[in-house]
Structure 1
Amino acid sequence: MSETGPHNDVSENLPSEHGAHEGGVAVKTDPFANPGLPPHEHRRQDIDDRAAKHSERVVAGLFTLSMLGTLGFIASFVIFPVDKIVFIFPFGHVSALNFSLGLTLAVAMLGIGAGAVHWARTLMSDEEITDERHRVDADDELRENVRQQWITGAKESGFGRRKLIRTTMFGALSLVPLSALLVLRDLGPLPEGKLDHTLWAKGKVLINTNTMEPLKPEDVMVGSLTFAQPQGLEESADDFQTQIAKAALMIVRLKPQDIKDKREASWGHEGIVAFSKICTHVGCPISLYEQQTHHVLCPCHQSTFDLSDGARVLFGPAGHPLPQLRISVNGEGNLIALGDFEEPVGPAFWER
């Protein structure tokens, strides 16, 4: 027995995989269609002037906190000595200077960052703008559009009319660079004239650094390399490392006919010449000598100097020759200096 009534098929009430049914007609839908932007929701600051003023004060307070952090950074250099150690939980015993510098600089940078973020999130325009993708090269219309958007954004940011934010922001940004100046200043004492002079002076005897005895011409053989230091410089001295780093000397004896530079010959004694031992690249001590070519090699970066030709640079990153020291012999037969180096020793100097 067959039923003769309406056909109740559940599938008729389900949408087709290609779309929905409207009035018996299938309507195709795009599952990847652009849903568009959701309706814009205004922030409290957009509709409540009191809330906007509060946010303005918060931003200004954060910028002011940054300024206080910078001032604290500067004050730390004056208040805390370098060797002061304090106990701070949970870090333990730490340098008071380093801890205060890190803390105050963090406050200074955090104040600027947090202030800028809070300003953007609460006071600057947050309306969503859509724009179609365009070619990389911009036409006049696009440039004008970008310019107008910039003008609109600057106007809506409130930068021109919110003087409190503008003033405190400029103050914070102006003070923070002072931290960098102090950090650079703390890299070490100002050189003043210390790099221009060494312990060498007229009449100073050359002391053999191995025997700690005065050097005599007969002690220096052709093809040998001898190291010397100024008379009176003792290893027990507090500033020994500082002074020897500038005054370290290397002595070689060349055959007079092998010396190519006339000034070098006149500044030596019977073929004995003295040059700074400190490489003019980064200040490494030079100790490798090739007696056949009269070349010395810096072991750090392979800068090579010709001791028979004014110690000029043959190879490597060194920028200028090794300074030469003028020497002679005193009445006791000892090698002596006739003055200091006429140019700063060691790595490149700023006037070069």
Structure 2
Amino acid sequence: MSEDKPNLPAVGAEHGPEHGPMQVAEPIPDPGIEPHELRITDVDPKAADRVERQVAGMFSLAGLLALGSCVAYFAIPRDSVVTFGPLSGNANNLTIGLCLGLSLFLIGAGAIQWAKKLMVDTEIAEDRHPAYTEPAKKAEIIDAFQEGVAESGFTRRKLIRRSLIGATAMLGLPAIVLLRDLGPSPGRSLYNTIWAKGIRVVNDVTLRPIKPSDLIVGQLVNAAPANLNPIQEESPVEYQNAKAKAAVIMVRIAPEKIRTTEERKNWGIDGILCYSKICTHVGCPISLYEQTTHHVLCPCHQSTFDLADGAKVIFGPAARPLPQLPLAVDAEGYIVAQSGFTEPVGPSFWERG
């Protein structure tokens, strides 16, 4: 038994409005590669040498500009200002930026000129091949790479090669020089803070001294030493440095929940403990407190410290506990430091010893 099938148009056919199916023309044949046209540098050695000098000149000037950015970094005062009509800016930053920008531009322009005028520009075609490469094909690829190196003229045109290597080497100098702006190495600066015996603990916002009765169980307070104000009046920069190193968190925990060593059993006041606010991983400020577990979390890399157990690290990349500040109460009932920190605050760095 045969089934009636709908009349479908043949593949490659179209229907006209009146004349029924129409045959579609065959695809356009491959036009092939147009005949190669020689450039002036291909037939005139003098023109090729002239372009080679142009490219080498661009690379050499790029190297000088990179070196110039280093000179500008040291020679132009940091506070000097340059003005262009209504616009103004820091002369040091502007000169360094212009030198580096022009240096990179000239390297790119030289590479383009080299490729357009001197490198072989004969068009080639290659059939697609499977993703797997056989040993014979690998050898063929290596040969093709070596041929490309030879055609680029990199090994033959020594002037271009040397000027390019010199320019790229010079570009590394500004990167090294600008590392100076990262600031000095910490040295032993983190070994000491302005905390000392008898210094009152104050709220870091209101600057009011704190009494034990001001804290309830489960409360955490961001605090600072009371001797910051004289430093602020003398030097704002030194004030910020001192405040950053001396920042602390003070927390009140039920005494029966606290686990401490024999030497630190008198460092707290009825469950009130004080620790450095600076994470011992890379120095981020800490204050994300979970009072049910007594854990404090660093927001940068999630290092977690147990404040009820000497601020030991229980999770994350931090290498050591938060330094603890010994506390006492002065004659007027305010919380004070028994001494400064007994270990360096801040991140664990190679100079700690």
**TM-score, normalisation: structure 2:** 0.76
More deviation, 122-131/136-145: 136-145
Q: Distance in 1 between matches of 2:162 and 2:220?
A: 66
CA 1:48 to 1:223, structure 2 compared with 1: closer, same or farther past 3 Å? closer
Q: Distance in 1 between matches of 2:139 and 2:222?
A: 73
Matched, 1:113 2:108: yes
For residue 265 of structure 2, give the secondary structure of its aligned residue in structure 1: helix
Identity value in percent: 36
Q: Contact conserved, 1:227 with 1:250, CA < 8 A, in 2?
A: yes
Deviation string, structure 1 residues 30-64 (Cα, Å, up to 9, x no partner): 65211211111111111111011101100100101
Q: Contact conserved, 1:124 with 1:158, CA < 8 A, in 2?
A: yes
CA 1:154 to 1:228, structure 2 compared with 1: closer, same or farther past 3 Å? closer
- 1:93-108 to structure 2, matched below 5 A, reads 93-108=88-103
Aligned position for 2:322: 323
Question: Which runs of no fewer than 5 residues in structure 2 stay unpaired?
Answer: 1-24
Specify the code of the residue in structure 2 equivalent to 1:306: D
Aligned position for 1:145: 140
Aligned position for 1:45: 41
CA 1:243 to 1:318, structure 2 compared with 1: closer, same or farther past 3 Å? farther
Deviation at 1:331, TM superposition (A): 8.1
For residue 243 of structure 1, give the secondary structure of its aligned residue in structure 2: helix
More deviation, 247-256/118-127: 247-256
CA 1:278 to 1:259, structure 2 compared with 1: closer, same or farther past 3 Å? same
Count of matched residue positions in the alignment of Structure 1 and Structure 2: 318
Matched, 1:178 2:173: yes
Deviation at 1:137, TM superposition (A): 1.1
Superposed CA RMSD in Å reads 3.3
Aligned position for 2:236: 238
CA 1:144 to 1:242, structure 2 compared with 1: closer, same or farther past 3 Å? same
Deviation at 1:261, TM superposition (A): 3.2
Q: Distance in 2 between matches of 1:312 and 1:328?
A: 19
Q: Contact conserved, 1:296 with 1:307, CA < 8 A, in 2?
A: yes
Deviation at 1:88, TM superposition (A): 2.4
Aligned position for 1:192: 186
More deviation, 210-219/221-230: 210-219
Q: Contact conserved, 1:328 with 1:336, CA < 8 A, in 2?
A: yes
More deviation, 216-225/111-120: 216-225
For residue 305 of structure 1, give the secondary structure of its aligned residue in structure 2: strand
Q: Distance in 1 between matches of 2:259 and 2:265?
A: 11
Q: Distance in 2 between matches of 1:221 and 1:263?
A: 25
> Highest Rg: 1 or 2?
1
Q: Contact conserved, 1:208 with 1:214, CA < 8 A, in 2?
A: yes
- 1:1-352 to structure 2, matched below 5 A, reads 32-88=28-84, 92-186=87-181, 188-193=182-187, 196-200=190-194, 202-203=196-197, 205-209=199-203, 212=207, 223-234=218-229, 235-236=232-233, 237-239=235-237, 240-262=239-261, 265-266=264-265, 268-270=267-269, 271-280=271-280, 283-286=284-287, 288=289, 290=291, 293-296=293-296, 304-313=304-313, 319-320=318-319, 323-327=322-326, 329=328, 335-345=336-346, 348-351=347-350
Q: Distance in 2 between matches of 1:305 and 1:140?
A: 56
Q: Contact conserved, 1:312 with 1:320, CA < 8 A, in 2?
A: no
For residue 245 of structure 2, give the secondary structure of its aligned residue in structure 1: helix
Q: Distance in 2 between matches of 1:325 and 1:297?
A: 16
For residue 252 of structure 1, give the secondary structure of its aligned residue in structure 2: strand
Q: Distance in 2 between matches of 1:35 and 1:227?
A: 77
Q: Contact conserved, 1:206 with 1:228, CA < 8 A, in 2?
A: no
CA 1:134 to 1:255, structure 2 compared with 1: closer, same or farther past 3 Å? closer
**TM-score, normalisation: structure 1:** 0.77
Q: Distance in 2 between matches of 1:132 and 1:294?
A: 68
Aligned position for 2:3: none
Specify the code of the residue in structure 2 equivalent to 1:146: I
Specify the code of the residue in structure 1 equivalent to 2:57: G
Q: Distance in 1 between matches of 2:274 and 2:155?
A: 68
